[in-house]
Amino acid sequence: MRSIILAVLFLPVLFFWEGEKAMADDLVAWGKHIAEAGNGKPGNTACMECHRLTGGGMPSIGGPRIAGQTMEYISREIREVQQGKRYGPVMAGVVQNLSKRDIQAVATYYSQLSPPKVSDIHTPSPKLVSLGKQIAHRGLWKKNIPACIQCHGQNGYGVPPLFPYIAGQNRTYLLQQLLSYAFLKRKDDPQGLMRGIAKRLSTEERKAVAEYFSSLSPPR
Amino acid sequence: MIQRTLFQKGLLLILALGLLTSGSIASAESPEGTSRFFSPPPEDSIPSGPFGDLVRKGERIFTQTRKYAHPYVGNDLTCESCHLNRGRKAYSAPLWGAYVLYPRYRKKNHRVNTLEDRIRGCFRFSMNGMPPPSDSETIKALVAYSFWMSRGAPVGEKLTGRGMINLESPKRTPDPFSGKKVYAARCALCHGLHGQGRKSHGETAFPPVWGARSFNQGAGLFKVSKLAGFIKMNMPLSKGDSLTDQEAWDVAAYIDSQPRPKKP
């Protein structure tokens, strides 16, 4: 008798739990579909064309690695591109028709992956890498620049949810973003933190940190 | 077809940026600022040999305190959490400003304090830990690091940028409620809405500003005026001197109104 009552009491809970899980699975499946084939609306291109299905990115065209960035960060960046707050000339042409749910789905999908690093097209210069390492770990306090790893985490692995990892990102993309913060219209960084830092770096220093972080392995 | 053009767009962009980097941008840079503060010797000038080894050890303890001085640390902070840029940054009580002023009298305990005493105090209160014995290797290394960093500084002089800044008294009594708003807008991104700090792969990235893993009620920063001065010149990280004085007072009042370990 008691077990029947218990069962009756718990069944709905069980269904609810199963339901939640199924919905989460659905979300990831839909995210993967968008990554592979787009959401079917005009003006949307499959993410894999530029980020690969596994999210490893395409160094040859400066397509960033996005696998393993947090769900919050990925969706935030897409929304900011849609709203025009983040300079993203390529992305702006392909994500306008993503709905809120589409964004959540594709962000969840990519946040769960960790493919191996896609090798960069470029051989790093030892001199720049060593200057970059110095800046990354000690900063340039004369210009009020803290060590990059203070905000991007040990080894540049990111500090969830909103400080992206930069270790193992491709060099072309890293350099482009530093330039976008410094001179173009990437204006979505909280409190202008990254804009200030990118502006205060010199041309050589920007190259150096891009070389250094792209020479590392991505997290996990 | 659509994809094709997008790819081309991407390539063009890269080329354009490439041109930008090599050309006009260089002229937009400002020359390296000349400092009005004492400049401590560069890190690569630490000598080799036993003295240099002790200095380097001091630097490691200073920046990775839990790892290198484990028995004496009771929270998630390091010495660098409050003495920024490895104890070099002006107005975060830099070591070069400290070394030349000790021994000296302090009202807090009504006696003449040595630098060793002062450092042990920071272990006890700011690090919420156990002070290492005065003759321990830990203290010797930290003193050697401070000594090396003050090389060339005039002894007994109060250098510009030493200690922390004393803000003028606020126009209105510091108000934790206004402070909470400042905190949410300017601090929570890094220190967390509940003051808990943030971790990256298990390591503390942003230190907790209140709660069980932060400094205790005996620490210098538990005084609202001291904390306001620290925040004004140093926080948000890389944006020092961007809060108004009143905002610094208010957010300090808010932080010091939150729970933290008692004074031992």
The residue range of the domain holding B238 is 176-256
Domain ranges of chain A: 2-111, 126-214
Whether B1 is covered by a domain: the verdict is no
Paired residues of B104 in beta bridges: B113
Say whether both B184 and B142 belong to one domain.
no
Say whether both B129 and B82 belong to one domain.
yes
Whether B239 is covered by a domain: the verdict is yes
Say whether both B216 and B144 belong to one domain.
no
Q: Does domain A2-111 have CATH number 1.10.760.10?
A: yes
B3 shares contact with chain A (CB less than 8 Å): yes
Say whether both B114 and B187 belong to one domain.
no
pLDDT in tens, B196-228: 999 999 999 999 999 999 999 999 999 999 999
Whether B159 is covered by a domain: the verdict is no
Chain B residues with CB inside 8 Å of A190's CB? 189
Nearest to A171 by CA among A119, A111, A113: A119
Q: What is the dihedral of CA B84, A154, B213, B233, to 10 degrees?
A: 20
Nearest-by-Cβ selection for A202 from B29, B84, B189:
B29
Number of domains in chain B: 2
First to last CA, chain B: 71
Q: What per-residue confidence (pLDDT) applies to A25?
A: 81
Paired residues of A63 in beta bridges: A58
If you write DSSP's letter for every residue of A162-208 in order, what string do you get? TB---TT--HHHHHHHHHHHHHSSB--SGGGHHHHHHHHS-HHHHHH
As averages over each run of 10 residues, the pLDDT of chain A (220 residues) reads 54 52 83 95 92 96 97 97 93 94 97 93 90 97 96 97 97 97 92 96 98 95
Tell me the C-alpha distance between A168 and A114, whole Å. Answer: 12
Whether the bond into B103 is cis, omega within 30 of 0: yes
- Residues 6+ positions from B233 with CB-CB distance below 8 Å: B90, B91, B92, B164, B165, B240, B241
Q: What per-residue confidence (pLDDT) applies to B156?
A: 87
Q: What per-residue confidence (pLDDT) applies to B130?
A: 97
Say whether both B199 and B241 belong to one domain.
yes
Tell me the C-alpha distance between A74 and A67, whole Å. Answer: 9
A203-215 vs A171-183: helix crossing angle, rounded to 10: 140
**CATH code linked to domain A126-214:** 1.10.760.10
Chain B residues with CB inside 8 Å of A160's CB? 198, 200
Whether B166 is covered by a domain: the verdict is no
Nearest-by-Cβ selection for A159 from B86, B198, B239:
B198
Whether B203 is covered by a domain: the verdict is yes
A54 shares contact with chain B (CB less than 8 Å): no
- CATH classification at residue B113: 1.10.760.10
B155 shares contact with chain A (CB less than 8 Å): no
- Residues 6+ positions from B98 with CB-CB distance below 8 Å: B115, B118, B146, B150, B162, B163
ipTM score of the complex? 0.87
Q: Say if residue B237 is exposed, middle or buried (CB neighbours under 10 Å; 0-12, 13-18, 19+).
A: middle
Give me A105's structure tokens: 């789905």
Q: Say if residue A33 is exposed, middle or buried (CB neighbours under 10 Å; 0-12, 13-18, 19+).
A: middle
Eight-state DSSP code of residue A16: H
Whether B185 is covered by a domain: the verdict is yes
pLDDT in tens, B139-178: 999 999 999 999 999 988 899 999 999 999 999 999 999 9
Which one-letter amino acid corresponds to residue A100? K
Q: Do the two domains A2-111 and A126-214 of this chain adopt the same fold?
A: yes
Say whether both B116 and B58 belong to one domain.
yes
A27 shares contact with chain B (CB less than 8 Å): no
Q: What per-residue confidence (pLDDT) applies to A8?
A: 52
Contact B29, A201 (CB under 8 A): no
Say whether both B36 and B106 belong to one domain.
yes
Tell me the C-alpha distance between A142 and A138, whole Å. Answer: 11
Q: What per-residue confidence (pLDDT) applies to A10?
A: 55
Chain B residues with CB inside 8 Å of A153's CB? 200-201, 203, 205
Chain B residues with CB inside 8 Å of A176's CB? 13-14, 17
| Closest-CA residue of chain B to A171 | B14
Cα–Cα–Cα angle for B112, B113, B116, rounded to 5 degrees = 160
Q: What per-residue confidence (pLDDT) applies to B15?
A: 43
Say whether both B112 and B182 belong to one domain.
no
- In chain B, which residues have pLDDT < 50? 1-33
| Polymer length of chain A | 220
Handedness of CA B48, B49, B55, B56 (dihedral sign): positive
Nearest-by-Cβ selection for B13 from A90, A143, A160:
A90
Whether B246 is covered by a domain: the verdict is yes
Say whether both B93 and B46 belong to one domain.
yes
